[in-house]
Amino acid sequence: MKRIPIGIPGFDELIQGGIPVGANVLIMGSPMTGKTTMAMQFIYKGLTVGDAGIFISTNETAESVKDKMISFGWDTTPYEREGIMKYVDCYGMMVDSKLSDTPSIKRIPSLLAFTSMSVVLSDLCSQFWKLEKTIRIAFDSVSSLLMYANPEAVIRFLHVLLGRFKMVRAVSMLILEEGMHEKTVETTLQQLSDGTFRLAMKGKERTLTCLGLIATRCLNREVPIEITERGIAIKE
């Protein structure tokens, strides 16, 4: 079974080399535990090994995501030129309706525009599929969708969207805020996923845990991590 390294040295080894191709995983954690950083690192790692990347943002513009990645030294510009990195910006046009698409940024008019999101993502996926690329997708975050639509609608949307990702063997990371949603919503999202990772912070101690991952002996152990200027790293 082909596996995709997340790009956290030391941690990928603990999950038998990475996430199996075709799987979707949930990244859970409280605010400021590093969920977005982990998603960016995962996308950038992919670009460096020849995978295609899609970053879907719902809380900030694509430009702001890109700036944050650069601050970690992860400049996606060359990969955008190469045509293998795309941003899907679901936030910008709500804040500034004059924003428009660029070659590497697709804008969705509103977080409620599920159909539009679906079409754009399906198109990007089939484009990359034709290039025979392994596709990495980050969705930051599902929690924002749940601010705009009721849980039932969001879950049905993801139920189908994740099926489409699976058809092109994409590996996707969905970010979910902990404590913001009903327990049954969290459980249902976990049931839709092929695995779950949790980021946590107690005082100054940060940890990353694999709570379960398809086809993987996942030790369910809290691994101490730190967030350095080069991203998430396992702490010795």
Q: Which residues of this protein are in contact with a copy of itself, per CB under 8 A?
A: 31-32, 59-61, 91, 94-96, 143-144, 147-148, 152, 155-156, 159-160, 163-164, 166-167, 177, 179-182, 184, 187-188, 190-191, 193, 203, 212, 214, 220
Work out how close the CB of 31 gets to a copy of itself at its nearest, in angstroms, rounded to a whole number: 5
Work out how close the CB of 79 gets to a copy of itself at its nearest, in angstroms, rounded to a whole number: 26
Q: How far apart are CA 113 and CA 229, in angstroms?
A: 35
CA distances from 59 to 11, 143, 185, 215, 222 (A): 28, 10, 20, 32, 28
Work out how close the CB of 40 gets to a copy of itself at its nearest, in angstroms, rounded to a whole number: 16
Work out how close the CB of 181 gets to a copy of itself at its nearest, in angstroms, rounded to a whole number: 7
CA distances from 149 to 38, 92, 98, 113, 145 (A): 26, 18, 24, 10, 6
Q: Which helix (H) or strand (E) holds 52?
A: strand 52-57
Query: Which CB sits closer to a copy of itself, 51 or 177?
Result: 177
Query: Which CB sits closer to a copy of itself, 81 or 156?
Result: 156
Work out how close the CB of 98 gets to a copy of itself at its nearest, in angstroms, rounded to a whole number: 11
Of 59, 62, 33, 55, which is closest to residue 144 (Cα–Cα)?
59
Tokens encoding 152: 């039932």
Q: How far apart are CA 162 and CA 96, in angstroms?
A: 29
Query: Which CB sits closer to a copy of itself, 49 or 160?
Result: 160
Query: Which CB sits closer to a copy of itself, 8 or 162?
Result: 162
What residues form DSSP beta bridges with 140?
Answer: 57
Query: Which CB sits closer to a copy of itself, 3 or 164?
Result: 164
Q: Do the Cβ atoms of 155 and 189 come closer than 8 Å?
A: yes
Query: Which CB sits closer to a copy of itself, 190 or 207?
Result: 190
The dihedral over CA atoms of 222, 201, 144, 76, expressed in degrees to the nearest 10, equals: -80
Work out how close the CB of 163 gets to a copy of itself at its nearest, in angstroms, rounded to a whole number: 4
